[in-house]
């Protein structure tokens, strides 16, 4: 799992990354407007937003830029925020719900714009399909499509019945239909976050790697201490997500690190790849322990899923994931697995991301807990943090903060086992159907 190594996980992404710019270790005492902790999508894009607004920024990463989930995730750029924003109407009102629904769409366009405006080469391809495991789920896709139309969704969507799935979407049985969305897609996440870090540096952000934070001293000026240097700043941003640990105890209990795993096959020939996923879409099903998969730029099948809440990772990820892949694609029994890796994603109790500031320390801001929608939502939250820090207020951040931030029960020792037990119940209910 490489959870302690200072280098990137031995993933297909790390093996195929176009460039890996090294950044120095912090070895000085610096004074800036804002210190950002975390070199993933949240931290890097917050640094970009702040630098574009004229603020001086230091970005601290404990290992390498994109070391965590930002550089090893499924690479699926999918619209949406949270799992059921309609359910938050009692907290944020109907206007707030509509804002969140639009943010789920506009956040993908924000990533699109960042990539195109800055010519970041990251294998971006458009096209995604949600796959229904049951007839009821497929029926709900029609309602989802109608809702997108009411929101003014500008991209093409189409429903595919079960009789056409194999020919049009994916050569796999057992799906009850799908919803194709050409406004979502897939990309190489490590290339994206490293390209964005280079953009941040070009804007004047001082980026430091291998610089884990040892201590935070709160006050009107925040002091952040590392082993060989420190940063004093008027504002602090915590963008650590699943790797926050106990750096800020007021936040760590609100996000649970969950393990997710990916295997990459050997490259498939052109004909076989085209038969497997005819339109080269990113795909994801609707199970509690969902499967997500897509083709890489060199025609490997990247197959992921198996979210683990127990805190224990498989000893052999390929041996664990390959049967899951063959259950969907038995025709790949003769195909080898070239890469296997995992990582932690940040899960919140209500599956809704958290962005705001600490009540006890109002110059400390944070964003975390994307619960599987990190690629787009990180960029949106970074935009809100940039607004709030520069202008002192962000209406969008107020909407997000209106949704209560729940703390997992049980303390550090019991959080994972309790959630694992709860997820087992949901899976059992799903199987009994």
pLDDT at 413 over 80: no
pLDDT at 410 over 70: no
pLDDT at 69 over 60: yes
For residue 70, the 8-state DSSP code is G
Encode pLDDT of 324-380 as tens digits.
999 999 999 999 999 999 998 888 888 899 999 999 999 999 999 998 889 999 999
Encode pLDDT of 122-168 as tens digits.
999 999 999 999 999 999 999 999 999 999 999 999 999 999 999 99
* Long-range pairs of 2-7 with CB within 8 A, sequence gap ≥ 24: 2/341, 3/313, 3/344, 5/63, 6/63, 6/64, 6/67, 6/210, 7/63, 7/64, 7/67
Contact 241, 368 (CB under 8 A): yes
Cα–Cα dist 351/130, whole Å: 18
Where in the chain are the domains?
Answer: 12-72+190-254+350-413
Q: What pLDDT, on a 0 to 100 scale, did the predictor assign at position 4?
A: 57
In this prediction, residue 19 has a pLDDT band, given cuts at 50, 70 and 90, of confident
Mean pLDDT in residue range 163-188: 97
Q: What pLDDT, on a 0 to 100 scale, did the predictor assign at position 425?
A: 41
pTM: 0.93
In 3-state terms the chain splits into helix, strand, coil percentages (rounded to 5) of: 40, 25, 40
Cα–Cα distances in Å, from 110 out to 104, 126, 340, 365, 376? Answer: 10, 14, 30, 21, 8
- High-pLDDT (> 90) share of the chain, %: 80
pLDDT at 201 over 70: yes
Contact 277, 351 (CB under 8 A): no
Q: What pLDDT, on a 0 to 100 scale, did the predictor assign at position 309?
A: 63
Q: Could you tell me whether strands 125-131 and 178-186 are parallel, antiparallel, or unpaired per DSSP bridges?
A: antiparallel
Q: What pLDDT, on a 0 to 100 scale, did the predictor assign at position 373?
A: 84
**In 38-139, beta strands by DSSP E:** 57-60, 76-77, 125-131
Of 4-8, 86-90, 194-198, 401-405, the range with the lowest mean pLDDT is 4-8
Cα–Cα dist 121/157, whole Å: 26
Q: Could you tell me whether strands 57-60 and 29-37 are parallel, antiparallel, or unpaired per DSSP bridges?
A: parallel
Mean pLDDT in residue range 289-315: 86
For residue 71, the 8-state DSSP code is G
Q: Which of 26, 7, 51 is nearest to 237 (CA)?
A: 51
Distance of CA 121 to the CA centre of its chain: 19
Domain 12-72+190-254+350-413 in CATH: superfamily? FAD/NAD(P)-binding domain (3.50.50.60)
Mean pLDDT in residue range 260-270: 97
Cα–Cα dist 178/400, whole Å: 30
Encode pLDDT of 224-264 as tens digits.
999 999 999 999 999 999 889 889 988 988 988 888 999 99
Contact 47, 343 (CB under 8 A): no
Encode pLDDT of 370-396 as tens digits.
988 899 999 999 999 999 999 999 999
Cα–Cα dist 19/6, whole Å: 18
Cα–Cα dist 167/169, whole Å: 6
Q: DSSP letters of 352-409?
A: --EEEE-SS-TTEEEEE--TT-HHHHHHHHHHHHHHHHHHS--HHHHHHHTS--PPPT
Residue entry with tokens 């709900």: 140
Mean pLDDT, the chain, rounded, equals: 92
pLDDT at 170 over 80: yes
pLDDT at 84 over 50: yes
- Torsion angle of the four alpha carbons 102, 137, 127, 335, in this order, in degrees rounded to the nearest 10: 140
Residue 160, helix vs strand vs coil: strand
């Amino acid at each position: 799992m490489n959870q302690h190594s200072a280098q990137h996980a031995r993933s297909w992404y790390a093996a195929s990354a176009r460039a890996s710019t090294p950044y120095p270790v912090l070895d000085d005492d610096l004074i800036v407007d804002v210190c950002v902790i975390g070199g993933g999508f949240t931290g890097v894009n917050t640094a970009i937003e702040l630098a574009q607004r004229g603020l001086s920024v230091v970005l601290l990463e404990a290992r390498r830029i994109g070391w965590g989930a930002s550089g090893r995730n499924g690479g699926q750029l999918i619209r949406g925020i949270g799992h059921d924003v309609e359910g938050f109407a009692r907290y944020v009102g109907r206007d707030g719900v509509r804002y969140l629904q639009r943010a789920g769409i506009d956040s993908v366009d924000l990533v699109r714009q960042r990539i195109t405006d800055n010519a970041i080469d990251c294998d971006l391809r458009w096209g995604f399909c949600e796959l229904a495991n049951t007839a009821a789920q497929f029926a709900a896709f029609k309602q989802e499509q109608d809702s997108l139309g009411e929101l003014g969704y500008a991209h093409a969507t189409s429903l595919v019945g079960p009789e056409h799935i194999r020919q049009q979407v994916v050569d796999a049985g057992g799906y009850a239909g799908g919803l194709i969305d050409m406004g979502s897609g897939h990309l190489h996440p490590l290339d994206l976050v490293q390209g964005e870090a280079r953009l941040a540096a070009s804007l004047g952000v001082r980026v430091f790697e291998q610089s884990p934070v040892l201590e935070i001293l709160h006050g009107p000026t925040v002091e952040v201490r590392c082993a060989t240097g420190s940063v004093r700043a008027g504002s602090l941003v915590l963008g650590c997500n699943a790797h926050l640990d106990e750096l800020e105890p007021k936040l760590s209990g609100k996000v649970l690190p969950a393990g997710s795993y990916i295997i990459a096959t050997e490259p498939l020939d052109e004909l076989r790849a085209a038969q497997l996923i005819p339109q080269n879409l990113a795909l994801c099903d609707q199970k509690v322990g969902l499967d997500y998969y897509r083709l890489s730029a060199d025609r490997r099948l990247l197959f992921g899923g198996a979210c683990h809440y127990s805190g224990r990772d498989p000893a052999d990820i390929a041996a664990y994931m390959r049967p899951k892949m063959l259950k969907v694609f038995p025709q790949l029994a003769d195909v080898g697995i070239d890469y296997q890796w995992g990582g932690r994603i940040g899960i919140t109790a209500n599956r809704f991301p958290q962005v705001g500031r600490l009540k006890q320390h109002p110059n400390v801001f944070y964003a975390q807990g994307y619960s599987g929608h990190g690629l787009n939502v990180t960029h949106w939250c970074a935009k809100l943090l940039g607004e709030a820090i520069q202008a002192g207020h962000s209406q969008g951040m107020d909407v997000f903060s209106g949704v209560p931030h729940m703390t997992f029960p049980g303390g550090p020792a019991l959080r994972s086992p309790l959630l694992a037990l709860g997820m087992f119940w949901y899976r059992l209910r799903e199987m009994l159907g």
